[in-house]
Structures are given as C-alpha cells and as structure tokens.
Amino acid sequence: MFASIVAVLALLLCLLVPWMPAETYPAYAFLSLIVPFVVLINTLLLVFWLFLKRKIAFLLGLALVLWWLLLKPFVNFSGSSDSATLAGIKIMSFNTRNFNAYRQLPLKNADSLILDFVSDKDPDIACFQEFYHGMKYSGKLAQYNHKFIDYTHGESQKRVIQAIYSKYPILAVSRIDFPKSSNSAIYADIKINKDTIRVYNLHLQSFNIVPDFDNIEKQKYRQILGKIKHAMKLQKKQVGIIRQHLAKSPYSTMIVGDFNATQFSNAYHTLADGFSDSYFEAGKGFGRTYDLKGYPMRIDYILADDTIEFLSHSNYDNRYSDHYPIMASFSLMGDK
C-alpha cells in the first residue's frame, strides 16, 4: 500500500514538471525523463489492486487520468505508418551527429547511409542538426535546388551546424545565435506554390551527459545536477529568443529540430504553445527519436501553427546517428 501511495505522489509531481523552473530545481529535469517509467509503475499497481478489489485502485486510476489529460500520452495507437502513404508536402528532421565523423558509432560509411536514406525517403524539405561541415560545398543531395548550410565560423569554432534543404525556392535565410552556447537556430522562408512558410530549424542546448545508463551511474550526482542546471538555464533563454522571433513571423510557421528536451519538459511546452505536434496529430507507436538503450525518448519534433495541417508522421529505426530521423507530411490551409 505504501509503495502505491509513493507511486501516485511521484506521478502527481510529474504533472507539475512542465510548469516548474527546472533551471532552479534541476531534479525536475530527471522527472521529465522518467515519466513513462512512473506511468508504467502506476499502471501495474492499478491492475494489481483492481484484481484485489481495493479502494487504492481508484486513487491510482485518478492519477493516471490526470496524467493522460494534462501531459498527453507517450504512445499513439493510431496514425499512419509512413509519410509516403499520404499526399502532401514532406518535411524531415534528422540530427546526423556530423555524419559520424568522429566515429562515435561503429560505422565506417555513416555518411553514405544517411545520404541514401534521405534520397530514398525523398522529403520536399529536409532539416538537419549537427550537420557535417564538408557538405557546404558538396554536390550530393543534388535533387535539392535550394539549401542553406549555416557554416560560416569554421570547424575550429566548434559551433553546431544546422542545414535546410528544399525542393521549393528559398526566399530568405538567417541564423539566430544563442548567447554563451555553441548551439543556434536557423530559419528559411520557403515559397510553396502561392504560399510562403517559415521553417525554423533548432538545436537547443545539450545536457552534455553521456547517454548510457552505466556511465550515468558512474558520474557523481552533483556533477549531473550541475550540468542539467546549466543546460536548463541556457535552454530557457534560447526558448525565449525563439518565441520572441516567432511572434514576428509574417508567414505560416513550422518549428523543426532537436530540442534536447522531452514532451514533458518546460522547454517543449513553451515552444509548442499554439502549435500542433506532428506525432500527436498523426503519429503511431512510442515516437522514439533518441537512442537510450530502448528507452522511448522523444526529443526531436516537427511543430506547425494552425494554418498547417499534418497528414502523417513517421519515425524511423535506422541507427546512423544517436538520433532517429522523423518525417511528416502536411498541407497548407490558407494564408496566415
């Protein structure tokens, strides 16, 4: 019984995560990562107490209903399995981890695999984070007549490179710098038939924690909390910069990229306010986008304002990076 009460309290704390200043209370960042685990424990306990016909089951059930209503599920049971199955404009987001240039993965031909994958899925717009600097003057992905690769500082500056490739004309591009960070955002105004949309490609601050449970256990708790607190402070500032920029967009707008934050985080909720999420609208399954030994972690997103309708969403399982690519198809519902 005591364990069940603790589980309910833990789930109720999780409900507060999106609205808590995690940069002040970094332990809440941990809660945003383990929400699926807390939900699973509560579900198993609910089944157990229902079988025994005990009143504690009502409390567990109520907590789970509140979670479902307030935070949204981390698994979708409906939606399309492949963006290619529906008509519309296809947009992809993919953190390519520099094409494995530093051999983080045991792949010798990650660059070729990534390029072949993108060519095979053939998105109309492809947004890349942690892009490889050598692609700046490459003739590959020649099916895209328009591109913007944010590579002006040089590799020695250790800035994370973003890129946008488009089959549609790009009218304007720019970079949005994040203070005291190697991360940044870029955007492109893309002409699609008679309409123009603005696509933001983001890469928010990383926690710089090795994504392996064994390594996390070896790191000191205080050091981990310190890294989380630092990253959350920077993420909050970065999200604020993007929200201010979004308010000035004259076009229908999409936000794509690696947020380095789960759907339960304050960063995600702030960015997604007023936007629809392709996964919730048309996704299926757990929606995992980050490799953490099978843990269903979603930190890469495709968002759109209310002038854009998502038709489908796909997650892919190919491991050419530490992130998995996602793709959505959409249609424009009218001028903004």
pLDDT digits (tens, 9 = 90+) for 251-302: 999 999 999 999 988 899 999 999 999 999 999 888 899 977 767 789 999 9
Grade residue 336 by pLDDT with cuts at 50, 70 and 90. very low
Q: What are the C-alpha distances in Å from 115 to residues 108, 256, 313, 318?
A: 14, 19, 20, 12
SS3 293: coil
Query: pTM here?
Result: 0.89
- Mean pLDDT comparison of 110-114, 152-156, 225-229, highest-scoring range: 110-114
Q: Which fold has domain 83-332?
A: Deoxyribonuclease I; Chain A (3.60.10)
| pLDDT for the residue 167 | 98
Max CA separation in the chain (angstroms)? 67
As given in the structure block, the two tokens for residue 189 are 């105004």
DSSP-derived pairing of the beta strands 252-258 and 195-203: parallel
Q: Convert the pLDDT of each residue in 53-72 to its tens digit.
A: 788 899 999 999 998 888 87
Q: How far apart are CA 203 and CA 238, in angstroms?
A: 10
Pick the residue with more confidence: 139 or 212?
139
As to burial, measured by CB atoms within 10 angstroms (0-12 exposed, 13-18 middle, 19+ buried), residue 39 is buried
Phi/psi at 278 (5° precision) = -60, -35
Residue 228 and residue 211 in contact, taking contact as beta carbons nearer than 8 Å = no
Map residue 139 onto helix, strand or coil: coil
- For CATH 3.60.10.10, list the domain ranges present in the chain: 83-332
Q: Bigger pLDDT: 121 or 105?
A: 121
* More confident call, 257 vs 2: 257
Between CA 142 and CA 140 the distance in angstroms is: 5
Pick 253 or 227 by higher pLDDT. 253
